[in-house]
Amino acid sequence: MKIPVNTASHQYEVTIGNEILTNAIESYGNLIKKADKLFVLTDKNVWDNQGTYFKEHFPYPFEVFVMPPGEECKSFDNFQGAHTFLIEKKCTRKSILFAFGGGAVGDLTGFVAATYMRGIPFIQIPTTILAHDSAVGGKTAINHPLGKNLVGAFYQPEGVIYDIHFLQSLNAREVRSGMAEVVKHAMISDEKWLTELMASPDFYKMGQEKLAHHLKLGIEVKAKIVAEDETEQSVRKYLNFGHTYGHALEAAAGYGGLAHGEAVMIGMVYALLLSERYGHISRSFTKTFLHYAYHTGYPVEQLAKYPFETLQPFIVKDKKAEYGELKFVLLSKIGKPFMQTIDLTECRKVDSEFRALIMEVCK
Ligand SMILES: NC(=O)c1ccc[n+]([C@@H]2O[C@H](COP(=O)([O-])OP(=O)(O)OC[C@H]3O[C@@H](n4cnc5c(N)ncnc54)[C@H](O)[C@@H]3O)[C@@H](O)[C@H]2O)c1
Ligand SMILES: O=C(O)C(=O)C[C@@H](O)[C@H](O)[C@H](O)COP(=O)(O)O
Ligand SMILES: [Zn+2]
């Protein structure tokens, strides 16, 4: 199945299905045959788990660069290491990069592609549930010690090949983390879909068909939004629901201490508490959602390790802030996001409310 992504700068397709790698790569034959070299950037876990399948099904010769796993690969050091590898291996403007991995590999490789010799083509081959989000839409970035994704570029891939065969080797934690972005896509677009997701909390037991259905819906939500606003001037901000608080948590936890989706899930509960004040979200819904998050296994209780003082320096550096004002994505109701200015005093107050609610609900 193909889902078109038509952004202002670039048009491409997400091809999604099981065991599609060979055919999907061959469909880029015209582009690939004109390339002088192909480079696959991946991480150690992905290569250990899925390297054999990849080598057996990738129909052209390639060089591979295996990076440290997960969030570690989004460092300045690894960014430089990837460039060094490409220079030494004589990568040129006629070469193509393939991002083979989760969101971390995708974000890093996209940024390398955007910057190597001022930009060379790349193709996303996502391997996580979460990457139904990260591989689409052209946000690429690395982390800075002072804040998440603070250095990057909008740079679209030539295409996205989503072979769901790769999802088989994900552990329960990564399945859960990835489903948080599916839940986010439902939160900002469709109450019925969110209700359906919340009714089946055992993600790990979800059949492949059902999972592919949710991933397709998520990709469609994202593709529609980035088609309207590629560079986050307006509606793309809604894709950041739960991320102001979530990114602060990830940074406070030292990038990798909490998985992205875990942090976003906690951030979404915080955004619901704020939405009670400015929208029509009820306390009863926030409690139900927090209960769902906790019992689905998101580490909500770990918030206790990160007092507000440790989050604040990162919250104030959120990229959506304008003229010194913090801008949160809130919901007027499920499926209806809007932007709201919130000052730090209110942020702190709601943070305390959140911690008290966790004590009440998560037992
Ligand atoms: N660009 C965007 O629009 C966007 C959107 C959402 C998230 N992100 C970014 O994506 C990153 C999170 O992505 P993620 O959750 O995919 O994390 P990830 O890339 O860190 O992968 C999670 C873990 O699973 C391992 N892994 C990946 N695929 C595997 C597989 N098939 N089998 C076994 N292990 C596998 C990885 O090595 C890693 O240890 C964050 O850095 C986040 O900021 C970007
Ligand atoms: O695509 C977007 O736009 C998003 O905000 C998707 C998010 O899920 C993703 O985590 C993204 O990397 C966040 O971007 P940032 O600009 O807040 O760093
Ligand atoms: Zn995200």
- The one-digit pLDDT tens for each residue of the chain (363 residues) are 999 999 999 999 999 999 999 999 999 999 999 999 999 999 999 999 999 999 999 999 999 999 999 999 999 999 999 999 999 999 999 999 999 999 999 999 999 999 999 999 999 999 999 999 999 999 999 999 998 999 999 999 999 999 999 999 999 999 999 999 999 999 999 999 999 999 998 888 889 999 999 999 999 999 999 999 999 999 999 999 999 999 999 999 999 899 999 999 999 999 999 999 999 999 999 999 999 999 999 999 999 999 999 999 999 999 999 999 999 999 999 999 999 999 999 999 999 999 999 999 998
- 243 labeled part of a ligand binding site: yes
Q: How many residues does the chain have?
A: 363
- Determine the pLDDT at residue 205: 85
Nearest to 244 by CA among 323, 163, 161, 341: 341
Asked if residue 95 has its Cβ within 6 Å of ligand 1, the reply is no
CA 240 – ligand 2 centroid, Å: 6
**Distance of alpha carbon 143 from alpha carbon 167, whole angstroms:** 25
C-beta separation of 217 from 183 below 8 A: no
- Determine the pLDDT at residue 10: 96
Sign of the Cα torsion 76, 82, 83, 88 reads positive
- 196 labeled part of a ligand binding site: no
Three-state SS at 170: coil
**Distance of alpha carbon 263 from alpha carbon 249, whole angstroms:** 6
Of the listed ligands, the closest to the CA of 327 is 2
- Determine the pLDDT at residue 196: 96
- The structural domains of the chain, ordered by start, are 2-169 (3.40.50.1970), 174-361 (1.20.1090.10)
**Distance of alpha carbon 220 from alpha carbon 340, whole angstroms:** 25
- Determine the pLDDT at residue 204: 83
What was the ipTM of the complex prediction?
Answer: 0.99
Chain-centroid distance of CA 337 in Å reads 19
Rg of the chain taking only CA atoms, in angstroms: 20
Instruction: Burial-class residue 81 by CB neighbours within 10 Å (0-12, 13-18, 19+).
Output: middle
Amino acid at 241: F
φ and ψ at 156, to 5 degrees?
-80, 145
**Distance of alpha carbon 31 from alpha carbon 126, whole angstroms:** 19
- Rounded to two decimals, the pTM is 0.97
CA 127 – ligand 1 centroid, Å: 8
Residue whose entry in the numeric block shows the structure tokens 């689409």:
136
The catalytic residues are: 118, 139, 181, 222, 232, 236, 240, 243, 247, 260
- Determine the pLDDT at residue 203: 87
Asked if residue 78 has its Cβ within 6 Å of ligand 1, the reply is no
Nearest to 4 by CA among 224, 183, 153: 224
- Determine the pLDDT at residue 259: 97
CA 45 – ligand 3 centroid, Å: 21
**Distance of alpha carbon 154 from alpha carbon 361, whole angstroms:** 40
- Determine the pLDDT at residue 253: 96
**Residue owning the nearest CA to atom 17 of ligand 2:** 240
Chain-centroid distance of CA 309 in Å reads 26
Asked if residue 166 has its Cβ within 6 Å of ligand 1, the reply is yes
What is 86-104 written as a DSSP string? Answer: HHHTT--TT-EEEEEESHH
φ and ψ at 130, to 5 degrees?
-55, -30
E strands, the chain, where? Answer: 2-6, 11-17, 38-43, 63-67, 96-101, 122-126, 139-144, 147-154, 159-163, 326-333, 336-342
Ligand 2 mutation pick, 111, 133, 260, 266, max ligand atoms within 8 A of CB: 133
Asked if residue 138 has its Cβ within 6 Å of ligand 1, the reply is no
- Determine the pLDDT at residue 340: 98
- 148 labeled part of a ligand binding site: yes
- 70 labeled part of a ligand binding site: no
C-beta separation of 331 from 337 below 8 A: yes
